[in-house]
Structure 1
């Protein structure tokens, strides 16, 4: 029997997916690119009420373009979306993009976290940052924690940043018995706490023994939070099915972040489908449901890994050192 290819337990286990980071620890910011070496069908679902995004409308099932060349996750708030230009330049150089008949236009949906309160607010990812991230892209194990878009992330800000923990970037994957793969990558910069899914006890949340009881929104900053994620599979999906995959993956976010999807978060999940497996159409609904459930649990693991691998930065402590 042919041996299975070894898995790295991250999103690069999906064939054709590469991930690269550009990291600035001094400024506490960076960006992460998920490159699709073969164009992937894309979907998106935005649940948070304070998103900073680019080209997400293209992923609506009623719109023309169905294939995505890359997804960019970035720090720097809306300023950091400028890094998309560098990703587009890299893709154009590699002749990837939507063929208009005149030129190829790379399709790069993007979303940003607000990380301006940690490090430097004046240094944000720019086109060169996006280009450098593409040059670093790999199909192998990827760095996690204080890297890329997770560099300046923080979590548990219900009582202000001074009591928060360090957030970060994490990734995980799952192989189903059929050989179908589901991967997830998360940038965790949540307003809420990251909790153990079994005990519901906080892993990374507000620090201090004298916290007031219950939740507080009095010190919440309306632009300083967001969890971003990309889930991917090696199954051929339509845009509507990829959108459903992104929608169901939000369950994983809600499993391990409390509270999630608040008015102060820009929670956004992208879905990518690489057409390696082409399922029987009569079984598609069952398969999409299975993929969604698997994406949910895989994303939950990626979120936990993001805070578990984060390290103290600029005085903001990691969960393991609090």
Structure 2
């Protein structure tokens, strides 16, 4: 397996990602969409998720496809970003047909970034506007780090962000991940230099420093984020995607496997205070020759992409006024 040409989730042909953010607000929204509805599912492993339309993605539910996914800052307020995306999709004539009406299907998940140093004293929620702007800007290329939903994200010790990564399997199937890293846990070992995800790094995509040579790691649960916020409000959310033709049930299995990537990149992961959630989706362009075996490899590749995307999110973060925590590059003099 090797990364795709862009090392982004949009190496899955047909997918597009858009960001919109407000520097003063220190928050934003990220949208993933395609030209046709996507077979999709979801798996939640955090104890404090914030989401919308996730029930529709269970394999026994009737919704046939998703028009767009929303990842947003703003805690529960950020779920309003999906309303702006729905409006934009409606204007495009997109949505699930119900007699003469069309209803866009837009699942959403949020991170908590309400006390990160940005100005949250709005009178009207900014998130519907951010959502529609992110949809309108969706493209095959997009920025990593402090953009979109990752604009105001933080990890335990370092500024968080938006990350992505991809892999092309030996059979030609592409898998990718788009992650917003805002965990209660740390993405680096003590000292904030080496990434927990370092064993899975490819071609120096997050610094090329390799694994921490120390042993006995994982026992220090220090978190400057909790100290700064004096509360526990966190989440790692994202989307994994492939071009393999999968059912909703197979997408569910891919989402479950993908959560291994959060556990590989964040220490600790899936806590009662995190809202860890991963959507899974497929364009369905490529048939599987050996479904069970190939699905296992797709799930494994998705977990690797998730771990790498989380590390890339922190590696690519850039500083802004009133940040609570330093960026990885500032901390390491890069």
TM over 0.5, shorter chain: yes
What does 1:45-84 correspond to in 2, within 5 Å? 45-84=43-82
Give ranges in structure 1 of 5+ residues lacking alignment. 1-5, 157-163, 203-212
Other structure's SS at 1:111 match: strand
Other structure's SS at 2:187 match: strand
CA displacement, residues 23-54 of structure 1 (integer Å, 9 cap, x when unaligned): 11121100000012121111100000011100
What does 1:65-214 correspond to in 2, within 5 Å? 65-118=63-116, 119-123=118-122, 125-139=126-140, 141-156=141-156, 164-195=157-188, 196=195, 197=197, 198=199, 201=212, 214=220
User: How far did residue 120 of structure 1 move?
Assistant: 2.0
Question: Is the 8 Å Cα contact of residues 222 and 263 (structure 1) preserved in structure 2?
Answer: no
User: How far did residue 66 of structure 1 move?
Assistant: 2.7
User: Is the alpha carbon distance of 1:276 and 1:183 closer, same or farther for their aligned partners in structure 2, counting shifts above 3 Å?
Assistant: same
Give ranges in structure 2 of 5+ residues lacking alignment. 189-194, 200-209, 214-218
Other structure's SS at 1:294 match: helix
CA displacement, residues 68-111 of structure 1 (integer Å, 9 cap, x when unaligned): 11100000000011111110111111121111122111010000
Runs of 4+ in 1 over 4 A off after TM superposition: 199-202, 216-223
User: How far did residue 122 of structure 1 move?
Assistant: 2.8
**How far, CA to CA, are the matches of 1:101 and 1:201 in structure 2?**
59
Other structure's SS at 1:154 match: coil
Q: Partner residue of 2:307? A: 300
Q: CA RMSD in A?
A: 1.9
Q: What is the total number of aligned residue pairs between the two structures?
A: 297
User: How far did residue 270 of structure 1 move?
Assistant: 0.3
User: Is the alpha carbon distance of 1:13 and 1:125 closer, same or farther for their aligned partners in structure 2, counting shifts above 3 Å?
Assistant: farther
Pick one of 283, 287, 293 that aligns with 2:294: 287
Question: Is the 8 Å Cα contact of residues 79 and 110 (structure 2) preserved in structure 1?
Answer: yes
Q: Is the deviation greater in 6-15 or in 45-54? A: 6-15
Other structure's SS at 1:36 match: strand
CA displacement, residues 189-223 of structure 1 (integer Å, 9 cap, x when unaligned): 00000032347649xxxxxxxxxx73368858665
Q: Partner residue of 1:215? A: 221
